[in-house]
């Protein structure tokens, strides 16, 4: 099975459209979305509509739940909070219902793959998986071979062998029998690894590859300014941080 996997669109329809266009050539048989379709960006409704047409393998992110009052946004930084309050105010009832009904986790049994936005250890607390120590704690919290996550906006592939040794890759990995994986596929709409291009991944039975695609960042920034979103969120898109 060949899946396209993507996460953290964050209402950036320009970036999302570039990824959708790239996916047309990928011949994926399934699409997996790992959360945060809204927040930060200027087009939450357009992004929700696009996502719904693409797939129903979707999990909820903290911004999806924050926009509809299902998670406490007092822990968000002031800019993220301003953007999520703006998002909550512009969403239609239908889009709110869609976000409210997204599950926290999903499992694709035939591919031994578990999905969530944050961490398998505590998917509702929105912890981050930044390093090998974070990964080591979380491998015992799912039974599948592969766990796909989003949230940090930084692509990272953690591989553990039967003796508990962890390897970290950033671009691609060969999926091998006897190993297990926690994989962050990066962000479509707000990358934070220093590369401003939209990120997505292709997952097959024997490999995962992170791919990047450029989009017209200036157009998204113009729409954000028109919406009155915070300047710091607008500027960070140029540098991918």
Q: Which residues contact 112 (CB under 8 A, 6 or more apart)?
A: 144, 145, 146
CB of 87 vs Zn ion, minimal distance in Å:
12
Query: In the range 196-225, which residues lie near Zn ion by CB under 5 A?
Result: none
User: Minimal distance in Å, beta carbon 40 to Zn ion?
Assistant: 8
Nearer to Zn ion, 36 or 159 (CB): 36
Nearer to Zn ion, 120 or 186 (CB): 186
Give the orientation angle of helix 44-54 with respect to helix 13-24, to 10 degrees: 20
Q: Which is nearer to Zn ion, 32 or 175 (CB)?
A: 32
CB of 185 to Zn ion, least distance (A): 12
> Strand, helix or coil at 145?
coil
The helix/strand/coil state of 91 is: coil
Token pair belonging to 240: 């991918």
Q: Does 8 bind Zn ion (CB under 5 A)?
A: yes
* Cα 170 → chain centroid: 16
Build a one-symbol-per-residue string for 28-67: x at contacts with Zn ion by CB under 5 A, - elsewhere: --------x-------------------------------
Give 10 or 212: the residue with its C-beta nearer to Zn ion: 10
- Sheet harboring 105-108: ordered strands across? 105-108, 113-116, 146-149, 180-184, 156-160, 166-169
Which listed range, 8-16, 74-82, 86-94, 103-111, lies at the site for Zn ion (CB under 5 A)? 8-16
Cβ atoms of 172 and 207 within 8 Å: the answer is yes
Q: Which residues bind Zn ion (CB under 5 A)?
A: 8, 36
């Amino acid at each position: 099975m060949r899946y396209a996997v993507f996460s953290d669109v964050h209402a950036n329809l320009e970036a999302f459209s570039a990824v959708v266009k790239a996916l047309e050539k990928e011949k994926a048989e399934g699409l997996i979305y790992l959360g945060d379709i809204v927040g930060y960006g200027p087009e939450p409704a357009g992004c929700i509509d696009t996502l719904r047409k693409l797939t129903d393998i979707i999990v909820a992110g903290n911004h999806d739940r924050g926009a509809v009052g299902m998670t406490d946004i007092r822990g968000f930084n002031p800019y993220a909070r301003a953007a999520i309050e703006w998002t909550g105010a512009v969403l239609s009832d239908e889009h709110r219902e869609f976000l409210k009904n997204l599950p926290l986790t999903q499992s694709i049994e035939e591919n031994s793959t578990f999905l969530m936005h944050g961490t398998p250890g505590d998917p509702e607390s929105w912890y981050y998986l930044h390093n090998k120590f974070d990964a080591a704690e979380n491998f015992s919290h799912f039974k599948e071979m592969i766990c796909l996550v989003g949230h940090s906006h930084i692509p990272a592939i953690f591989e553990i062998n039967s003796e508990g040794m962890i390897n970290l890759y950033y671009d691609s990995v060969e999926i091998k029998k006897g190993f297990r994986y926690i994989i962050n596929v990066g962000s479509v709409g707000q990358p934070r690894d220093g590369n401003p291009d939209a990120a997505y991944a292709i997952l097959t039975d024997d490999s995962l590859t992170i791919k990047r695609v450029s989009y017209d960042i200036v157009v998204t920034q113009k729409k954000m300014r028109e919406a009155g979103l915070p300047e710091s969120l607008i500027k960070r898109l140029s540098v991918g941080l």
